[in-house]
Structure 1
Amino acid sequence: MFAINYKAVGATLLISGTMLGAGMLALPLVSSGMGYTYASLALVCIWLLMTYTALMLLEVSLAFPAGSGFDVMAQSLFGNKGLWIINASLLLLLYALSGAYISGAASSYTSNIKQYLGIDVPSAVVAAIFTLLIGSIVYMSTGAVDRVNRVLFSLNVFIFFAMAITIQPYVNQGNLNSTQDSSRYIYAAFPVFITAFGFHGSIPSMVKYIGRDKPQTLRNIFILGGLIPLLVYAIWEYCSLGLVPRIGENSFLTLAENQGSVGMFLDYIHASTSNHWIPSLISLFSSIALFTSYLCVSLGLFDSVASSIGWKDSKHDRLITALATYLPPFVFAWIYPEGFVLALGAAAIFLSILAILFPALALYKLRARDSYQAGWRVPCNTCSFCTVTMMGACIIVFQIMKMQNLLPIC
């Protein structure tokens, strides 16, 4: 009789939940120029890359004591310089994501308040209230974060599928078609796409939770855990690209020309359909996704800041840590209220270092040791190392070019 491994199922869903969040709201904003076919191919390519580097990192993690994080692995393999680079990349990644989510929430909530309540509230005020609310929950305890996140994430799963079913009849197949030069828009989308598949920070914890003696189970968890978001993203791209046209009034092109935000995207959805349930469901989904994503990211940033500075868990030190955690990204959102996609792109640079370059270089360094005896190996050779490293470097270059307006996005 086939027995279900509930622990593995829970871990798979946890991996999926780490990826599914507010980052998916940016996918249609950066992929509209490609059309649905190329966007789907790009998603599959990034899923394959990120899953493969996760398996690389799994082999590296299995070579160290259970519970060893990026810092332990980096220092052992690359010395103090490697430790500094990894710690700096992690902090900058979390700060960039925090800035993105505050900007996205301010834009989204401001739009919703205006649409449903008819009240114009400055986005800076909305950003401040949102940041204070999230900060208060994190300041209370990790348990408070867990309880709030569990309820909201479960609710959002049901909202997403209700939204997808409701939108389907209104999808315009013509909006999904690729144009003759669609492939040239892929390069600008890649950096944001990888932020939608970043779960690598959870790998050391998963190794400790599932057990070092079950590498095949861990491998299956990482593969299946990424397939669920891939399916969700494909459905989301189909719905959003099919609902909002690429060119014309209230289009993705207009969004791109105006440094489009989540709020503006929601406004265009309101204008693209007469069914009031569609924009309402999308607004509710995006609002919860932004809330839960920032709740989890800011908890990680809060702990990382406290660990880096060495502060204790007293009320005074937690307050100082909270200020260091929330003030910088709030200032960014205040200066760049439409900076959601911009900040996600910046986060892609640091995620490329942590989730693509580090796994490949760390595994190469590890296998070069004469004393290394692997209990489990990911299929990998010199060509694989070079290909993954080159792709990680290319994504960083693409993002830098995009920031310099050298790559088209629509």
Structure 2
Amino acid sequence: MKSKLLGSILIIAGSSIGGGMLAMPITSAGVGFWGTTLLLGVIWFAMCYTALLMVDLYDYNDPSAGFNTLTKKYAGPFINKLAGFSLMFLIYGLTAAYISGGGTIIKTNIDLLFDINFNTYAAILLFALVFGGIVVIGTQWVDWLTRGIFMAKLIFLVLLVFLLFPFVKQANLLHSPLSVGITLTAIPAIFTSFGFHGSIPSIVQYLDGDKKRLKRAFVLGSLLPLVVYLIWQVVVLGSLDQMRFMQILQENSGLKGLILSIREMSHSAHVETLFSLFAATGLGTSFLGVSIGLFDYYKDVFKVKNNPAIITSVAGLLTFIPPLLFALFYPEGFILALGYAAIAGVILALFIPQYLYIKAMAYHNKNISIGQRSLMAFIFVLAALIIFAQIKIALG
């Protein structure tokens, strides 16, 4: 039973730690370490709290009940369709971000290693073909590869923290946010770094609806990424001068700017190589974990067809063509795609769990305490703020 709890904690943490971790230093460069720490703490609390609200719903439902069942029971067809659309939009947004980021990493490293200007579109297509092909081959391959890459990612992260720590300067950690606007624009990308809500029904079923173990799993499973993110922010933001970092990001947006900043700061081939490997493994595991869910969803939709090869082909095209087109037309769109994914994530992880909880308590004639109502009101405001921030970003 303890192994199941540990496995659940790692699944929750693994769903969070990934590509969004690379976006954090980029979006929070102008916010500073302490401002970013505050944002991380608030967003972690909101995400953890809504996950615990979802757990409470299983006091009245079978552990096998999923999002589809719960939204149909308590919220009606509109919210049911909104939840399904949000899940699809979230996965498309994340997949587009990871394809864009993976292509950027391939291009940047080929350019640096061979002193050439490698074609951006070719780099994006290469990443999509290799990792998308693995997803299409089958879940077993995804499972094997994810385990290996995840272990490599942890090793690279530990080594990277060890090598970057000597470059950390206290002065770099004391920078204040440059403006309210910059702080606002950092919120959507940071929010996507706690994207584990899609796995809630699976974890509930895996732990047989045991409420005590479920609450422990979601608290510890979401707390682990928070600790990792804070350590990551210390070594990255603490190693880079804020104004110089911002200047490089203005000249080279997204992941390319972060890689070049690390390179300029460290003057170390070891640090640069490790960071590139960590970034590649982070995007790889995130891409595999996110896209396999949508691929299997489409296979399930078309399972009435008799030809497995056609089903697989159609599911693969529907899963990868839309995000690939985004990445090709917006090759620097890593942060942009994460931001749009945040809107769907807010609906799925903040709005819908609270709405379901309110409806469920009314359905079962249960009262909601004033303390709970206050916390939920705060989270509703936070959710609205994240959506407002992304709209402001989209409008420039």
TM-score by length of 1: 0.91
CA distance in structure 1 between the aligned counterparts of 2:162 and 2:152, rounded to whole angstroms: 16
Deviations 1:128-170 (A, max 9, x none): 1111111221111111100100011011101101100110001
Deviations 1:266-319 (A, max 9, x none): 122112222221111111100111111101111011122333455657111111
One-letter amino acid matched to 2:215 = R
SS of equivalent residue, structure 2 residue 243:
coil
Deviations 1:67-101 (A, max 9, x none): 22211111111221111111111101000001100
2:387 pairs with 1:391:
no
Q: Which residue of 1 aligns with 2:312?
A: 318
CA distance in structure 1 between the aligned counterparts of 2:172 and 2:142, rounded to whole angstroms: 40
The range that moved more, 217-226 or 307-316, is: 307-316
Q: 1:378 to 1:168 in 2, by over 3 A?
A: farther
Summarize the alignment of residues 242-261 of structure 1 with structure 2, pairs less than 5 Å apart: 242-248=238-244, 251-255=245-249, 257-258=250-251, 260-261=253-254
Q: Which residue of 2 aligns with 1:220?
A: 216
2:344 pairs with 1:339:
no
CA distance in structure 1 between the aligned counterparts of 2:43 and 2:54, rounded to whole angstroms: 16
Q: Which residue of 1 aligns with 2:174?
A: 177
CA distance in structure 2 between the aligned counterparts of 1:192 and 1:323, rounded to whole angstroms: 27
Q: Which residue of 2 aligns with 1:265?
A: 258
One-letter amino acid matched to 2:262 = I
CA distance in structure 2 between the aligned counterparts of 1:180 and 1:287, rounded to whole angstroms: 29
SS of equivalent residue, structure 2 residue 328:
helix
Q: CA offset at residue 185 of structure 1?
A: 3.4
CA distance in structure 2 between the aligned counterparts of 1:293 and 1:311, rounded to whole angstroms: 30
CA distance in structure 2 between the aligned counterparts of 1:259 and 1:54, rounded to whole angstroms: 37
Q: Which residue of 1 aligns with 2:57?
A: 60
Q: Which residue of 2 aligns with 1:288?
A: 281
Q: Unaligned 5+ residue runs, structure 1?
A: 406-410
Alpha carbons 2:188, 2:386 under 8 Å: kept? yes
Summarize the alignment of residues 36-185 of structure 1 with structure 2, pairs less than 5 Å apart: 36-179=33-176, 185=182
Q: CA offset at residue 174 of structure 1?
A: 2.4
One-letter amino acid matched to 2:372 = N
Provide the identity percentage.
32
CA distance in structure 1 between the aligned counterparts of 2:266 and 2:169, rounded to whole angstroms: 11
CA distance in structure 2 between the aligned counterparts of 1:130 and 1:41, rounded to whole angstroms: 35
Alpha carbons 1:62, 1:207 under 8 Å: kept? no
CA distance in structure 2 between the aligned counterparts of 1:235 and 1:269, rounded to whole angstroms: 16
Summarize the alignment of residues 352-363 of structure 1 with structure 2, pairs less than 5 Å apart: 352-363=346-357
Alpha carbons 1:195, 1:348 under 8 Å: kept? yes
Q: 1:307 to 1:275 in 2, by over 3 A?
A: same
Q: Which residue of 1 aligns with 2:187?
A: 190
Q: CA offset at residue 259 of structure 1?
A: 6.7
Alpha carbons 1:361, 1:389 under 8 Å: kept? no
The range that moved more, 380-389 or 109-118, is: 380-389
C-alpha RMSD over aligned residues: 2.1
Q: 1:80 to 1:176 in 2, by over 3 A?
A: same
Q: CA offset at residue 396 of structure 1?
A: 0.9
SS of equivalent residue, structure 1 residue 217:
helix
Q: 1:114 to 1:291 in 2, by over 3 A?
A: same
How many residues are treated as equivalent by the alignment?
Answer: 395
Alpha carbons 1:38, 1:182 under 8 Å: kept? no
Q: CA offset at residue 121 of structure 1?
A: 1.8
CA distance in structure 2 between the aligned counterparts of 1:46 and 1:311, rounded to whole angstroms: 41
Q: CA offset at residue 372 of structure 1?
A: 6.3
Q: Which residue of 2 aligns with 1:408?
A: none
2:359 pairs with 1:365:
yes
Alpha carbons 1:55, 1:378 under 8 Å: kept? no
Relative to its length, the structure with more helix (as a share) is: 2
Alpha carbons 1:61, 1:204 under 8 Å: kept? no
Deviations 1:308-359 (A, max 9, x none): 4556571111111101111111110000000000000000000000000001
Alpha carbons 1:191, 1:398 under 8 Å: kept? yes
Q: CA offset at residue 127 of structure 1?
A: 1.1
The range that moved more, 79-88 or 346-355, is: 79-88
Q: Unaligned 5+ residue runs, structure 2?
A: none
SS of equivalent residue, structure 1 residue 381:
helix
CA distance in structure 1 between the aligned counterparts of 2:293 and 2:280, rounded to whole angstroms: 20
CA distance in structure 2 between the aligned counterparts of 1:97 and 1:262, rounded to whole angstroms: 15
Q: CA offset at residue 226 of structure 1?
A: 1.2
Q: CA offset at residue 115 of structure 1?
A: 1.6
CA distance in structure 1 between the aligned counterparts of 2:299 and 2:347, rounded to whole angstroms: 22
